[in-house]
Amino acid sequence: MIPNGTEYLSADPSGIAQAADLLRQGLLVAFPTETVYGLGGDARNGEAVASIYAAKGRPSFNPLIAHVASAEAARRFVQWSGQAEKLADAFWPGPLSLVLPLRDGHGVSSLVTAGLDTLAVRVPAHPMARALLEAVDGPVAAPSANPSGRISPTTAEHVREGLDGRIAAILDDGPCGVGLESTIVGLAGEPALLRPGGVVLEDIEAVLGTELHHHKSGDLLTAPGQLQSHYAPDASVRLNAQSRQGDEVLLGFGPVECDENLSAEGNLIEAAANLFAALHKLDGSGRPIAVTPIPENGLGAAINDRLRRAAAPRDS
Ligand code: AMP
Ligand code: MG
């Protein structure tokens, strides 16, 4: 809960400056983009990103799109390429997200990428979004500003209905967009259409001069069986462990003796922010991972969902 309630900021220079300030403090601000209202949090601040999930009540962690003010800003976080340059020239600012390998020293929270070594970046076209991103001068993670499972918000009133009291502020600039999401193109390997959206496939292929790999069946990322695109540790994972067995390393939650603690205080936001980094670190030990019980309430549901997937038997 936000102590002083959700603030309503008008879409003028003073509202934008206040919104940028709140984001820099690690608080959440909903803002208009040309697709839908986004729920923004500082992508470098794991606890800010965790609170996006908490505010939306999302039951699982998916990678989020990092919004930036310009292609130049994007290049601070990802390894740029000729193909990225062509698509950015043609479609940015606009409803196109590019997935590219992270670059060294990127500083982006692993909760934004869900532990992957790639990042989705986008330069939105909406003037308020651009002004805000310029003022923040950093990457802003922003899924749609609605509670999980509810319809995407295209007005500040929709955002208020869903998230009032759960976020610091709403930057209100009237109705935006048509609720169509950004097209997502993967450029970390062979160019691939990861999600259809506001920029059409044929136009992207024309600019690249090559066909995109894609699945005719629709959303590749949310389709069942596509979970291999998400980070999973190499090591086996055992949940609800009370203590180590054999040569296991122990991932803890709360006041327990362990190798890595998600949150010694038992704070679920802190635990979510630490989750992927802790898994990577323990995975690096080459030993099996045991995890002490984590409550199922609030963000615990999403943390447990991710851990259950990590613990599930592998196909290969
Ligand atoms: P949205 O809900 O509009 O914020 O869109 C997020 C979508 O982008 C999800 O479907 C993600 O799976 C996808 N996405 C974000 N980052 C990546 C990434 N690094 N690799 C693949 N897909 C990504
Ligand atoms: Mg959404």
Identify the pLDDT of residue 143.
Answer: 96
Domain with CATH 3.40.50.11030 in the chain: 237-311
pLDDT digits (tens, 9 = 90+) for 171-181: 999 988 776 78
Range with lowest mean pLDDT among 30-44, 45-59, 113-127, 201-215: 201-215
The overall average pLDDT reported for the chain is: 91
Percent of the chain clearing pLDDT 90 (strictly above):
80
Q: How far is the CA of 245 from the centre of ligand 2 (A)?
A: 41
Distance (Å) from CA 97 to ligand 2 centroid:
15
pLDDT, average across residues 31-57: 96
Ligand with minimal distance to 96 CA:
1
- Is the domain covering 7-214 a CATH 3.90.550.10 domain? no
Calculate mean pLDDT across residues 64-93: 98
> Which atom belonging to ligand 1 lies closest to the Cα atom of 219?
10
Give pLDDT tens digits for 292-302: 999 999 899 89
Q: What is the pLDDT of residues 121-166, one digit of tens each?
A: 999 999 999 999 999 999 999 999 999 988 889 899 999 999 999 9
Q: Which residue has the higher pLDDT, 219 or 90?
A: 90
- Enter the CATH code of domain 237-311: 3.40.50.11030
Is the Cβ–Cβ distance between 80 and 72 less than 8 Å? no
> What residues does ligand 1 touch, defined as CB less than 6 Å away?
62-65, 99, 113, 116, 118-120, 143, 181, 184, 194-195, 221, 229
- What's the confidence (pLDDT) of residue 314? 62
Cα(40) to ligand 1 centroid in Å equals 15
What are the pLDDT digits (tens) for 253-288?
A: 999 999 999 999 999 999 999 999 999 899 999 999
- Statement: residue 69 has pLDDT above 80: yes
The pTM of this model reads 0.89
Residue 168 has pLDDT above 70, yes or no: yes
Which ranges in the chain are annotated with CATH 3.90.870.10?
7-214
